Homo-oligomer: A and B are copies of this chain.
């Protein structure tokens, strides 16, 4: 088996060295895939099929100058072909990847930058010594150096990178940048790091299991609960920021940021504990969550409604609504969690479902969907970092098909569960193409629920469901539907989701900038909320946008962990002044009118 890989690598190396993009492309299946994270493209890019691979190489091969291709593990047979982990280097970096070969041709090639040579991530064998074992009359101790750094950043010393938001995205990125020696400053509007979790509704608990949720460098302890409560995540983020010596200004808002194209830097104004401070970072990264601002309710007759109307982001706990009639609008994750929270507080709860949701039982998803992120995997020595690389080695186009196969299994296995939801009048589907929850999350970041208890309440009629209808207007007592149905409610919680991340750019940079970069997330899959054409990668996440110096980083804990490394590598290269020609940089989404 190793021969299959070694032979292919030898031919590949020869073709690359000849500089002949056609010859290289011939080594792929006609419909083969090449997913690249920075190594060739300084972008996150998947070339699908020989013509796309050829075009990519024509643009990138000479500058990349790849060499030293070799296998780093024994080859293994997979459902996609013979596969092995590989390593190589480029003109400026070490890189690794994975190749899957069928009948002598590459079905999938995955390449990822590892370290910029001379600026390796200081982990393991590269970790700092902590002390020079030599007496030194000019010794500055760790705490003295750290105190100086903290006092100077944002004042005497300008950060290279300004990070807006101190949730998991912000702290993961700041931790990477600290290791890479890129001065970065987090501004977080809340008083403490972790408050973005603490401020959510009372009963919130992570829906993903612990093995999927580790942050960079410091895995959760082996005692950590499988599903972590929100406040405990908040405390973890706060401790993490302390441990990794992150520079973070809390109780600080980012009020404005203007790009100076001549100086190639931002002028940003922040307010820290009432003091206005101007910063001039080279890079501005929005780590404001997986979403933008909330889609606040805007129903006809809204001002007539006499009850309590809240967006899910404003909902904190159910206690005030004990014995009251509650109506939850929506059927995604927040809607389910809020409905349970209200029910637990003793409210009489009805959910108005606007369209079908994807619902999967947590236990099922853990057993079938998280096999590489599990205690069994950890016991086999598969770390989250290695599992991330494995997950990243499958192009999104192929991931869709794999998820469709998974959902066939899930639907059969949990037939009883779905039959009960049916009987309760709850509308579910598995996505437009039956590719399930993860694909919907990637495509639209909405419309799904991992069942941790709400579905049982719905199946048992404890939470009522209204579907097949539309809201006509709010009335003084509740909601009137298009069918003529009227529902009285003392409280209405609109779990109507959030706008895209780029909407966070508008109030800080400008409306024009937000429009120019366009929405985040989505693959161009051509479904509602994710219009085509097919892109093969997520929009705007963790890679250059159409706006110079403007980046988005975030997602759940797992995505924040993995992609923080690649965002940090891109920012480090720019700090160093290494040429970073971006292949396939997105065009402005809409040319701003004042441009």
**Residues of A with Cβ closer than 8 Å to B?**
122-125, 127-137, 139, 141-143, 146, 179, 202-203, 205-206, 210, 217-218, 221-229, 231-232, 235-236, 238-239, 242-244, 340, 343-346, 362-363, 375, 378-379, 381, 451-454, 456-457, 462
Contact = CB atoms under 8 A, between A and B. Distances in A.
Contact of A127 (B223, B238, B381): B223
A227 B130 contact: yes
Contact of A130 (B122, B179, B226, B340): B226
* Contact residues of A: prevailing secondary structure: loop
Contacts of A203: 139, 141
A221 B218 contact: yes
A383 to B, nearest CB: 10
Nearest to A133: B452
Contacts of A206: 130
Contacts of A210: 127, 130
Contacts of A124: 222, 375, 378-379
A125 to B, nearest CB: 5
Contact of A231 (B143, B236, B453): B143
Contacts of A139: 203, 344
A401 to B, nearest CB: 30
A210 B123 CA distance: 12
A559 to B, nearest CB: 20
Contacts of A239: 239, 242-243
A217 B223 contact: yes
B457 A131 contact: no
A263 to B, nearest CB: 33
A366 to B, nearest CB: 10
Given A210-B127, A226-B128, A375-B125, A454 B221 contact: no
20 contacts: A123-B222, A127-B210, A127-B223, A127-B225, A128-B226, A130-B225, A130-B226, A130-B227, A134-B453, A135-B344, A135-B457, A136-B344, A136-B453, A137-B344, A137-B345, A139-B203, A139-B344, A142-B232, A143-B229, A146-B231
Contacts of A227: 129-131, 133
Contact of A453 (B133, B205, B232, B235): B133
Q: Identify the 6 closest CB pairs spanning chains A and B, nearest first.
A: A130-B225, A142-B229, A143-B231, A130-B227, A218-B221, A217-B221
A70 B10 CA distance: 48
A124 B221 CA distance: 9
Contacts of A179: 223
A133 B363 contact: yes
A87 B499 CA distance: 57
Contacts of A343: 135, 137
B243 A221 contact: yes
B340 A135 contact: yes
Contacts of A340: 135
Interface centre among A124, A136, A141 (most CB of B within 10 A): A141
Q: Which of A128, A222, A363 has the most CB of B within 10 A?
A: A222
A362 B133 contact: yes
Nearest to A239: B239
A133 B362 CA distance: 8
A225 B123 contact: no
Contact of A226 (B129, B243, B452): B129
A210 B125 CA distance: 12
Given A137-B345, A217-B221, 5 more contacts: A123-B223, A127-B222, A130-B232, A132-B453, A381-B381
A238 B239 CA distance: 9
A202 B141 contact: yes
Given A142-B229, A381-B381, A131 B205 contact: yes
A225 B217 CA distance: 13
A343 B139 CA distance: 11
Contacts of A221: 217-218, 243-244
Contacts of A232: 130, 142-143
A456 B131 contact: no
A128 B225 contact: yes
Contacts of A231: 141-143, 146
Chain B CB within 10 A, most for which of A124, A239, A243, A457? A243
B228 A130 contact: yes
A316 to B, nearest CB: 12
Give the interface centre of A128, A133, A217, A379 by most chain B CB atoms within 10 Å. Answer: A133
A217 B221 CA distance: 5
A416 B203 CA distance: 66
A124 to B, nearest CB: 5
A161 to B, nearest CB: 18
Quick one: which of A122, A229, A346 has the most chain B CB within 10 A?
A229
A459 to B, nearest CB: 11
Contacts of A135: 340, 343-344, 453-454, 456-457, 462
A586 B160 CA distance: 63
A289 to B, nearest CB: 21
Contacts of A226: 127-130
